[in-house]
Amino acid sequence: MYETNIKGIEEIVKENEEWRSGCINLIASENVTSKRVRKAMASDLMHRYAEGHPGERYYRGTGYIDRIETGLKEKMKKLFSADNVDVRPICGTNANQAIFGVYTKTSDIAFVNSTPGGGHISHHKSGNLGMLITNIKDLPLTEDGYHIDIEDTKSLVNRIKPKILVLGKSLFLFPEPIKELEDVCKENKVKIIYDAAHVLGLIAGKQFQDPLSEGADIITGSTHKTFFGTQRGVILSNVNKKEWSKIDKGAFPGSSSNHHLDTLAGLAIATNEMLEFGEEYAKQTIANAKSLAVSLDKYGFNVQAKQFGYTMSHQIAVDVAEHKGGNEVSKNLEKNDIIINMNLLPDEEVNKAKIPKGIRIGVQEMTRFGMKEPEMEIIAELIKKCIIDEAHIKEEVNKFRDNFQNIEYSHDN
């Protein structure tokens, strides 16, 4: 049923807010923002336009916006040790679009992570990249499915000479082999584009690989998964001025015009929070992911990549084929206020995307609400009760979640 009445819509918004505050959200691509970030978003800035760069706008009335944007860029450069940053993409897909448009022309070849291998749709035939080129090849994986096969990739790069190599993915458990592929890419003039949408906050917190120092030419990313929000995108790079000027045009006017100034101000505050709390947060997030993996394994779940310690990121992957697959499991959990997404696993066919055997779990949001290892053990037990014992646990979930309502790693409290 849809709602047309204003009061009715307001009621839905409120109900969603209340319901969400009782849920355990384990969607790996989401996070929550601090009160101060939200306050900045709910301001006059949401009405404004500011195309171009601070001090060189195509609009008047942007003085305050210019101050926010200039400060944000400086802080991003510091966080990622990057000479150049563009904070205007309004999401990660938009950042990818800007870059793909600059680095590819119709006849070019790209290497990307496949969909079952964890790659994102914007890298694929039906997404951003596919709208520019048709020759998109999947990177070879090692037998476990969670790592790129370095030797095979090297020989493919030497033989096929793609224009770009896109690293980074949506099911992202372990660092990518940037260092290992850097030389072969340089020799063949292949640009390494690292999509950090999922792991941007872990990189900022210095707990994951450092793509630019390891040899990536460009980082793109979303600012709201492991980063502290708001929902936007970013491009970072140390390429020379001439090359950066092309990327600059890719971001504007190439892939966006106005760039949503309410979320810009929110991101500026979130970036300050990252500078102050990012390291502690990223450490705890990864520790929580490992802890949840160990506990789920203990309950008999088929947690993936056990031989590699399950994960080095905020995510874990679980094969739930024996529990009727990812679709059923995610629906049953949702009925009990635990929210996760179903996910293809690397050894599945892409046509199984709506009935995959896997689930993907991310702990970054619950970590932001202050949960630590003991709480991960409780979450694993709740999942076990729901999926293995087929028990109704909604009230237990809500009661547990009641104790975690503040946004930590912020100055909210």
Q: How many residues bind ligand PLP (CB under 6 A)?
A: 15
Q: Based on the shown chain and the rule CB under 6 A, indicate whether residue 92 belongs to the binding site for ligand PLP.
A: yes
Q: What is the closest distance, in whole angstroms, from the C-beta atom of residue 226 to ligand PLP in the complex?
A: 11
Report the chain's C-alpha Rg in angstroms.
21
* Nearest in space to 345 (alpha carbons), one of 362, 358, 329, 328: 358
Q: Does residue 86 interact with ligand PLP by CB under 6 A?
A: no
Q: How far is CA 15 from the centre of its chain?
A: 27
What is the rounded CA–CA span in Å between residue 219 and residue 194?
5
Quick check: 108 binds ligand PLP (CB under 6 A)?
Answer: no
Q: Is residue 348 part of the contact set for ligand PLP (CB under 6 A)? A: no
DSSP secondary structure of 310-377: S-SSSEEEEE-GGGTHHHHHHHHHHHTTEE-EEE--TTS-GGGTTS-SEEEEE-HHHHHTT--HHHHH
- Could you give the 3-state DSSP secondary structure of residue 130? helix
- Binding flag, residue 170, ligand PLP (CB under 6 A): yes
Candidate residues 84, 93, 336, 341; the one interacting with ligand PLP per rule CB under 6 A: 93
Q: Which stretch binds ligand PLP (CB under 6 A): 162-170, 182-190, 262-270, 313-321?
A: 162-170
Tell which one of 33, 115, 153, 222 touches ligand PLP (CB under 6 A).
Answer: 222
What are the helix and strand counts (H, E) for the chain?
A: 14, 15
Q: What is d(CA 171, CA 118) in angstroms, rounded to the nearest whole number?
A: 4
Considering only 17-25, 86-94, 240-248, 333-341, which stretch makes contact with ligand PLP by CB under 6 A? 86-94
122 binds ligand PLP (CB under 6 A): yes
Site string for ligand PLP, 316-345 (x = CB under 6 A): ------------------------------
For residue 334, how many C-alpha atoms fall within 13 Å in the half-sphere facing its CB? 11
Closest CB to ligand PLP among 198 and 401? 198
From the list 10-18, 34-42, 193-201, 399-407, the region that binds ligand PLP by CB under 6 A is 193-201
77/181 Cα distance (integer angstroms)? 25
Task: State both tokens at 269.
Answer: 């505050």
DSSP H or E stretch at residue 79: helix 63-80
47 burial via Cβ count (<10 Å: 0-12, 13-18, 19+): exposed
267: nearest Cα among 65, 93, 96: 65
CB of 89 to ligand PLP, least distance (A): 9
Among 91, 110, 203, 303, binds ligand PLP (CB under 6 A): 91
Out of 73, 75, 147, 169, which residue is the one contacting ligand PLP (CB under 6 A)? 169
Direct distance between the N- and C-terminal alpha carbons of the chain, in angstroms, rounded to an integer = 38
State which of positions 232-261 bind ligand PLP (CB under 6 A): 233
Burial (CB < 10 A; 0-12, 13-18, 19+), residue 283, is: middle
Q: Does 110 bind ligand PLP (CB under 6 A)?
A: no
Please say which residue, 30 or 412, places its beta carbon nearer to ligand PLP.
30
Distance from CA of residue 194 to its chain's centroid?
Answer: 12
From 42-50, 168-176, 237-245, 363-371, give the range in contact with ligand PLP by CB under 6 A: 168-176
Minimum distance of ligand PLP from residue 362's CB (angstroms): 10
Nearest-approach distance from CB 368 to ligand PLP, in angstroms: 17
Stretch of residues binding ligand PLP (CB under 6 A), selected from 147-155, 166-174, 269-277, 391-399:
166-174
Is residue 195 close enough to count as binding ligand PLP by CB under 6 A? Answer: yes
One of 116, 117, 162, 168 touching ligand PLP (CB under 6 A): 168
* 180 contacts 189 by C-beta, under 8 angstroms: no
CB 227 within 8 A of CB 274: yes
Find the binder of ligand PLP among 40, 110, 197, 270 (CB under 6 A). 197
Q: Is residue 364 close enough to count as binding ligand PLP by CB under 6 A?
A: no
Residue pair 269/411 in contact by the 8 Å Cβ criterion: no
Stretch touching ligand PLP by CB under 6 A, among 54-62, 92-100, 241-249, 330-338: 92-100
Residue ranges in contact with ligand PLP by CB under 6 A: 29, 91-93, 96, 120, 122, 168-170, 195, 197-198, 222, 233
